[in-house]
Structures are given as C-alpha cells and as structure tokens.
C-alpha cells in the first residue's frame, strides 16, 4: 500500500447555493460521508485538487485536513462528477473510513507476463472480469490484483479460486467464476461474429472452404 495522499479542505457554509460562483473563485465543492459521521460539505482548492487527482487511484487513501479540526480524516475518493462536454470538475464525494474496520472495495484486474500462444497468434486473451470485489482493512487495499499469464496456453482459464490475493485481502466473488481465459483465435473471431459453438469451428471452416472451391469451379 502506498503512502496516503495529503489534502486540505475548508468547511462549506453556503450549501446548495452559489456553487457556480464558488467554482469561479477557484474552489471545488465536495462532501464527506461515512458510517459513523454526519455528512459534511467542504470546498477544496481546484488547482491543487487537479494536480492531486493525477496521483490518486480509486483505492488510494487520502488524509484530508479539514479546517478547524485537530486530526485529519482518512477518506477514499468515491465519486468524481465532471461536465459531460468540457470534462471540467463539478463535485467530489469522499467516504470517511476507519483504519481499524474492514471495508469492501472494487479493485482492477491486471495481467502480467506474456502468453506464448497469444504472442505467436494461436490464441487470444479474453478478460471476462476486469474488476473484483474484495474485503480488507484500508491499509491493505490495493489498486489492482495482478494475474501472471506467462504460463497459460490455449483453452486455459483462470477462475476466482485460482487467484492468490495480496496479504490481508479476501476475494468476495464466486470461486467458480472465470476471470480470464486463452481461447483459440479462430474461435474468438467466430464468437464476435455469429453465435457459433467452439465445437462447430472446424465444420464452419470446412464448409466455407468447400463453398469457395465450388464457386471457383463454376466460374
């Protein structure tokens, strides 16, 4: 787990009004919520916030220093609202958490290594789950769980039960669910086009070839 990011915020007094003027002044509206805390409207420096967001992942711990409070709050950035056209920041939601209580979170699935069958063109990597739900203490939270695909071959699959999560993390998904698999390239192409079962691939390919040969003879 990387070190927590530090951020400073002020309490927002004019809640529900003057939001556009607030943004024009260089401040960004946000809210803090959590299981054991009352929701708190805050505002942050937009320039500093934009720079910080480049370093913050979905599961990065943030130490939020709120004006007038003696201790920082430990929070996670849960939602970032942006203008759909200009992509400018509009609002943020922070979830306050306790370092001693387990939380549930969603982490990305990342692959490492190179599958030989994918490299030589015989197979195609299909990622069927790009996120996994986990439970852990906040200090053990990671941005991604990595899966090594360098030893996989065509027709191999990685199920949830095959994944060894980082220390302190428990996977909450169905153990029998497939996360990724290596499929034969021709099967993957057919799956993208028409609904053809893997066992029908050879028949389809042979029928296509025979049709082409017949057209050539008749030409």
Average pLDDT over residues 205-215: 48
Domains and CATH numbers, the chain: 5-96 (2.40.240.10), 103-215 (2.170.120.20)
Average pLDDT over residues 34-44: 93
- Give the DSSP per-residue string, 115-184: -HHHHTTSEEEEES-SEEEEEE-GGG--SEEEEE-TT--TT-EEEGGG--PPTT-EE-S-TT-EEEEEEE
Percentage of residues in the chain having pLDDT higher than 70: 82
pTM assigned to the model: 0.73
**Looking at residue 191, what is its pLDDT?**
59
Q: What does the pLDDT look like over 43-92, one tens digit per residue? A: 999 999 999 988 887 889 999 999 999 999 999 999 999 989 988 889 99
Highest mean pLDDT, choosing among 43-57, 100-114, 205-219:
100-114
């Amino acid at each position: 787990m990387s070190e927590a990011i530090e951020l400073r915020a002020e309490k927002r007094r004019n809640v529900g009004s003057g939001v556009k003027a607030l943004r024009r002044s260089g401040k960004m509206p946000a809210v803090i919520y959590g299981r054991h805390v009352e929701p708190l409207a805050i505002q942050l420096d937009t320039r500093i916030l934009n720079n910080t967001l480049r370093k913050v992942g979905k599961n990065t711990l943030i130490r939020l220093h709120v004006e007038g409070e003696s201790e920082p709050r430990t929070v996670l950035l849960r939602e970032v609202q942006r203008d759909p056209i200009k992509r400018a920041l509009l609002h943020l939601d922070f979830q306050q958490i306790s370092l001693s209580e387990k939380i549930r979170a969603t982490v990305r699935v990342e692959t490492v290594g190179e599958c030989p069958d994918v490299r030589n063109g015989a197979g195609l990597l299909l990622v069927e789950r790009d996120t996994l739900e986990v439970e852990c203490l906040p200090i053990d939270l990671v941005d991604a769980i990595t899966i090594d695909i360098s030893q996989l071959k065509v027709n191999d699959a990685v199920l949830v039960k095959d994944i060894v999560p980082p220390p302190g993390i428990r996977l909450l998904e169905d153990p029998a669910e497939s996360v990724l698999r290596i499929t034969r390239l021709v099967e993957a192409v057919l799956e993208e086009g028409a609904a053809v079962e893997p066992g029908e691939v050879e028949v389809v390919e042979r029928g296509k070839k025979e049709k082409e040969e017949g057209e050539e003879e008749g030409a």
